[in-house]
Amino acid sequence: MGIFSLVTGRPGQSGFGSASTAEQVSDGIDATNLTAIVTGGASGIGLETARVLALRGVHVIVAARNMDAADEAKQLILKDNERARVDVLQLDLSSVMSVRSFAEGFCALDLPLNILINNAGVMFCPFQLSEDGIEMQFATNHIGHFLLTNLLLNKMKDTARTTGVEGRIVNLSSIAHLHTYQGGIQFDKINEKSSYSDKRAYGQSKLANILHANELSRRLEAEGANITVNSVHPGLIMTPLMRHSQILMKTLKLFSYFLWKNVPQGAATTCYVALHPSLKGVGGKYFLDCNEMKPSAYGSDEKLAKQLWDFSNKLVDSVSGK
């Protein structure tokens, strides 16, 4: 999948490409027996992902920080499809306490969990620390999803074991993972303001999403769990995620308009990886435009992935007071 395919929308090996929409890649798929959580499902590609999953019959849990926006998203989905099964739960991924509360609340519903889509995030925000004292982009984009996934993993294993249906975890990364700090992850400077770059910090967090997916995939495969984990780049889409850099993004789009997608196209790769039967048993991969792509050298580094896993566990434990 080169620049020509990206610009023209020419399908790749999967039969889909950059011009494919979420509805197109999931057409004909009956997912009425599945339950999914979509973080950040109240706006942008998260909302479109939730809408299309619900259209295919999935019981969707929209996890969002802003409950008013989440309720509006639910009504939009129901307006499009009155038979949709949609619920909303509050989740602030920058807060370890909120992540734990969400996981407890979801498990208390006694629902199955087949699909977890780690979609939410922040982008290019000025330096700030989360309530737990962690740099905000790393906290929200990686640590929050890392903890959430760990807390829901037993529920996913139980669901896969009792139903015989493969579970799927999808981490939304970005091509921005190519633009990170030297060494990939600044383990010893995660919270250092003096060396902070909003662009590189974002790239670092998106690299972390890939490494997390790869390491978790390796661990689940080793234990024989019927769950796959993959990461995706949705493409360049103008969404609320870019609120901290709207002038920069609009200027960039002016000169590279042919590379940008609309929201239905932006949600396509997520829905493809989450639902398509051709990906049964496929894990530890990185997808762009609904086709497998090779990430950066850092993104393929197994040693770096394990180091990040151990670092993330220690960071979460230190915040939790363990």
pLDDT digits (tens, 9 = 90+) for 179-212: 999 999 999 999 999 999 999 999 999 999 999 9
The pLDDT tens digits of the residues spanning 270-321 come to: 999 999 999 999 999 999 999 999 999 999 999 999 999 999 999 999 997 6
Residue 16 in tokens: 């889909």
Domain tally, the chain: 1
pLDDT at 10: 75
Verify whether residue 196 is a known catalytic residue: yes
Burial of 321 (0-12, 13-18, 19+ CB in 10 A): exposed
Exposure string of 279-297, with b = 16+ CB inside 10 Å and e = fewer, is beebbbbbbbbbbbeebbe
Q: Which of 181, 196, 272, 286 is catalytic?
A: 196
Is 321 part of a structural domain of the chain? no
Q: Give me the CATH number covering residue 257.
A: 3.40.50.720
Strand partners, 37: 61, 116
CA distance 230 to 166: 13
Domain of 84 in residue numbering reads as 3-316
Strands (E), 45-200: 59-64, 85-90, 115-118, 167-172
Residue 83 in tokens: 């038979």
Question: What is the share, in percent, of the chain residues with pLDDT greater than 70?
Answer: 89
Query: Which helix or strand (DSSP H or E) is residue 20 part of?
Result: none
CA angle 274, 280, 283 (to 5 degrees): 75
- The sheet with strand 115-118 has its strands ordered as 85-90, 59-64, 35-39, 115-118, 167-172, 227-233, 286-288, 291-293
pTM score = 0.92
The pLDDT tens digits of the residues spanning 118-147 come to: 999 999 999 999 999 999 999 999 999 999
Is 322 part of a structural domain of the chain? no
Is 24 part of a structural domain of the chain? yes
Is 87 part of a structural domain of the chain? yes
pLDDT at 78: 98
